[in-house]
Amino acid sequence: MKWTKLYPLAFIIMLTSTAKDVNAQLLTNKIKNTHSDSLRGQYGPGRDWWDVTNYDLHVKFSISDSFISGYNDITFKVLKNGKYIQLDLQDPLLLDSIIIYSNSLPAKKISNKLISKDGNAYFVRSDLFKTLPISSATIHLIAYYHGKPIIANRPPWDGGLIMKKDKNNNPWVSIACQGLGASVWFPCKDHQSDEPDKASIWVTSPDTLITVANGRLIGVTNNHDGTNTAQWSVNSPINNYTIIPSIGKYVHFSEVYKGEKGDLDMDYWVLDYNVDQAKKHFTDAPRMMKAFEYWFGPYPFYKDGYKLVESSHLGMEHQSAVAYGNGYKYGYLGKDLSGTGWGLKWDFIIIHESGHEWFGNNITTKDIADMWVHEGFTNYSETLFTEFYYGKEAAIAYIVGIRKNILNDKPIIGPYNVNKEGSGDMYPKAANMIHTIRQIINDDVLFRKILRGLNATFYHQTVTSIQVENYISSQSNINFSKVFHQYLRTVQIPVLEYRIENKKLYHRFTNCSKGFEMPIKTVGLTSQWIKPTEKWQVANLSSTIDSVFSVDPNFYIKTKKVD
């Protein structure tokens, strides 16, 4: 998770700037989308006719000079006739050659004359593509490459190869590439909408180190040249950006969790000198699993197991191999992002990053413009974990507490087809939107059913925001389209204007999109529901004491008393 994993980078800026200054800067300095952005973000004619089914990735790490080399054997099936393939590989890595083959097609090397480069994309043209059968038959494209990848300076907030040393001066190597893309370290179809159905990761590194990657360890081969090759296998669809190796002086311990679908292997890979500490601290992992299987349904990757892998950076939701770098502290690096104290009852990285196994890895958005589906629900998972163990009042305090991190600088949903996320408010604001929707549903049994239904209905799928929005509306039998539009696509937080006269409450919404309406619950001497719109409405009150009138704080709106 990058700081659009965790919380927005703009929140860090707030430590030295006022929110007003930050908002003004972000709203006036609009970033123009480039040709490169379009190449990266569009699902065009170089991508839409072929569907990736498997990555068989072989990479050798030369740690002394940050050099990598290898190949990716990409298996795909043909959906329709195509003329060319867009293969993504980011500078300064270089594509060496490409070979195409299948069961019925002998291996054929593609001439360099048929391969052109445009920025970080290679375009492979061949008459062969026009003749490939449109069927379930699989085609192989092997892309050989080499070079020195971009080095990440501040992972996970920026991406690239991570070259660190542990406290004993041993190499500690990994990669961060959310947003930036997996093509920063291997050639692939680098678009979130097409996940390989499975993957194998073969990593060659010094034989004094251990490589941990996604899925299950198949075996380690000693190459008798000072290196070994570890093979890991993933048997579920997987996001490109979560395919990550970690190389270091790791030791392993494990446990078996009795989950909803039976025995779940839970494995932990930590630096050798942290094993005793980790065994005590990682008790939050089975606690997480119990809470999240209750709320979201069975862990989505029983085939691949669950892992925590110690990392030199803060953390990331690498599927079935969650990166952990929170320093064995409770809270977020020892701090409570809600300011209530409840966030210090659990390890933020274990809870948040593991929540992404359901929202982000199981349910993945086709375009990162819709990343609120990953981050909003995962941010809300922190509230649900708190509620599961500490009760509803603690959960309410937590979710209300994180509102102070909301900037309302730009819409949560970003521009489509250019590989751009929206506002970092996709974390706390989207979570508060979900919490507000939960109040309107006013049935926690149904709300939990919807959360579990999302993970069952969209199991191992890529989706759009609209699909998720429509699912929630249909399952709740409440049309939330105006609510989603208000909170996801505008920066306006609805203001309830009200006045009380003669036991009557006059109310309306302002600072909202046209046609906005939303039921809310008021609290006073007694509580009651009202349904404000843009026009003045009137409701009878059971009390004339307006000093105790307020809106239930579970609803993320503002209020203004008017004369």
Q: How far apart are the first and last CA of the chain?
A: 47
List of E strands, 189-249: 198-206, 210-212, 216-222, 227-234, 246-248
Q: Which range has the worst mean pLDDT, 127-131, 265-269, 353-357, 407-411?
A: 127-131
Hey, is 42 helix, strand or coil?
coil
253 inside domain:
no
More reliable by pLDDT, 129 or 251: 251
pLDDT of residue 11: 34
- pLDDT of 236-258, one tens digit each? 999 999 999 999 999 999 999 99
Q: Kindly state whether residues 371 and 518 are assigned to the same domain.
A: no
pLDDT given at position 544: 52
Token pair 């989505």 is found at 300
Residue after which a domain boundary falls, among 489, 506, 537: 489
Reading the block at residue 82, the tokens are 């195509």
Choose between 144 and 7: higher pLDDT.
144
In this structure, are 237 and 166 located in the same domain?
yes
Q: Which residues are paired to 529 by β-bridges? A: 521
Q: What is the pLDDT of residue 475?
A: 98
Residue 527 lies in a domain: yes
Kindly list the distances between the CA atom of residue 436 and the CA atoms of 41, 142, 174, 317, 508, in Å, as whole numbers in the listed order: 32, 49, 39, 26, 18
Q: Using an 8 Å Cβ cutoff, are 37 and 417 in contact?
A: no
Provide the β-strand partners of residue 165: 171
**Structural domain includes residue 97:** yes
d(CA 158, CA 441): 39
pLDDT band at 16 (very low <50, low <70, confident <90, very high): very low
Q: Verify that 370 and 400 share a domain, yes or no.
A: yes
SS3 257: strand
pLDDT per residue as tens digits for the range 183-236: 999 999 999 999 999 999 999 999 999 999 999 999 999 999 999 999 999 999
Task: Give pLDDT, residue 135.
Answer: 81
Domain end residue (candidates: 455, 489, 523): 489
Domain end residue (candidates: 463, 489, 515): 489
Domain that holds residue 164: 46-241
In this predicted structure, what is the pLDDT of residue 361? Answer: 98
At residue 8 the predicted structure's pLDDT band, cuts being 50, 70 and 90, is very low
Q: How confident is the model at residue 7, as a pLDDT?
A: 42
Q: What pLDDT is attached to residue 563?
A: 87
Q: What beta strand segments (E) does 151-305 contain? A: 160-165, 171-176, 198-206, 210-212, 216-222, 227-234, 246-248, 250-259, 262-271
pLDDT class for 5, splitting at 50, 70, 90? very low
In 3-state terms, what secondary structure has residue 346?
Answer: coil
Q: Are 474 and 499 members of one domain? A: no
Q: Return the bridge partners of 146, or none.
A: 69, 94
Q: State residue 14's pLDDT score.
A: 33
Tell me whether residue 394 is in a domain. Answer: yes
pLDDT per position as a tens digit, 395-453 = 999 999 999 999 999 999 999 999 999 999 999 999 999 999 999 999 999 999 999 99
Q: What is the pLDDT of residue 18?
A: 31
Long-range contacts of 158-166 (CB under 8 A, 24+ apart): 159/2, 159/184, 160/184, 160/185, 161/66, 161/68, 161/185, 162/312, 162/313, 163/63, 163/66, 164/312, 166/248, 166/249, 166/271, 166/273, 166/312
Interior/surface letters 27-41, b for 16+ CB within 10 angstroms, e for the rest: eeeeeeeeeebebbb
pLDDT beyond 50 at 344? yes
Residue 242 CA to residue 13 CA, distance in Å, equals 27
Residue 221: strand pairing partners? 229
Q: Whole-number mean pLDDT of the chain?
A: 93
Q: Which residues contact 304 (CB under 8 A, 6 or more apart)?
A: 214, 215, 216, 234, 235, 236, 319, 320
pLDDT above 50: residue 372: yes
- Give phi and psi for 349, each to the nearest 5: -65, -40
Pick from 141, 132, 121, 144: which is nearest to 44 by CA? 121
* Average pLDDT of span 519-524: 90
**Cβ-based neighbours of 520, under 8 Å, separated by 6 or more:** 439, 496, 529, 530, 531, 532, 551, 552, 555, 557
310 found inside a domain: no
Share of the chain above pLDDT 90, in %: 86
**Domain assignment of residue 205, yes or no:** yes
Phi/psi for 114 (5° steps) reads -95, 5
Q: Is 337 exposed, middle or buried (0-12, 13-18, 19+ CB in 10 A)?
A: buried
119 vs 183: CA distance, rounded Å: 12
Mean pLDDT for the stretch of residues 27-32: 53
Q: Are 423 and 517 part of one and the same domain? A: no
130 and 107, same structural domain?
yes
- Please report, for the domain that includes residue 108, its CATH number: 2.60.40.1730
Confidence of residue 524 (pLDDT cuts 50, 70, 90): confident
pLDDT surpasses 70 at 41: yes
Q: Is the pLDDT of residue 106 over 60?
A: yes
Q: Residue 32 — pLDDT band, cuts 50, 70, 90?
A: confident
The reply to whether 292 falls in a domain is: no
Based on the fold, state whether residues 522 and 544 are members of the same structural domain.
Answer: yes
The CA distances from residue 123 to 114, 117, 493, in Å, are 8, 6, 45
Average pLDDT value for residue range 501-508 = 90
Give the pLDDT confidence of 292-341 residue by residue, as tens digits: 999 999 999 999 999 999 999 999 999 999 999 999 999 999 999 999 99
User: Is the pLDDT at 561 greater than 60, yes or no?
Assistant: yes
Question: At 484, which CATH number?
Answer: 1.10.390.10
Scored b (16 or more CB within 10 A) or e, 241-263 reads bbbbbbbbbbeeeeeebebeeee
Residue 17 has a pLDDT of 34
Looking at residue 213, what is its pLDDT?
A: 98
Write the single-letter amino acid at 154.
R
- The answer on 115 and 70 residing in a single domain is yes
> Is the pLDDT score of 60 beyond 60?
yes
Q: 144 with 81, same domain?
A: yes
Beta partners for 175? 161
- List phi, psi (to 5°) of 364: -120, 135
User: Residues 6 or more apart from 96 whose CB is under 8 A from it?
Assistant: 144, 145, 146
* Whether 66 and 92 share a structural domain: yes
Pair 209, 62 in one domain:
yes
**Domain count for the chain:** 3
The stretch 136-144 carries a mean pLDDT of: 92
Q: Does residue 68 surpass a pLDDT of 70?
A: yes
In a domain, 3, yes or no: no
Q: Is the pLDDT of residue 178 over 50?
A: yes
pLDDT bucket at 128, cuts 50 / 70 / 90: confident
Residue 265: Cβ-neighbour burial (10 angstroms; 0-12, 13-18, 19+) = middle
Give yes or no for residue 516 having a pLDDT over 80. yes
Looking at the structure, tell me whether residues 454 and 501 fall in a common domain: no
> What's residue 31's pLDDT?
65
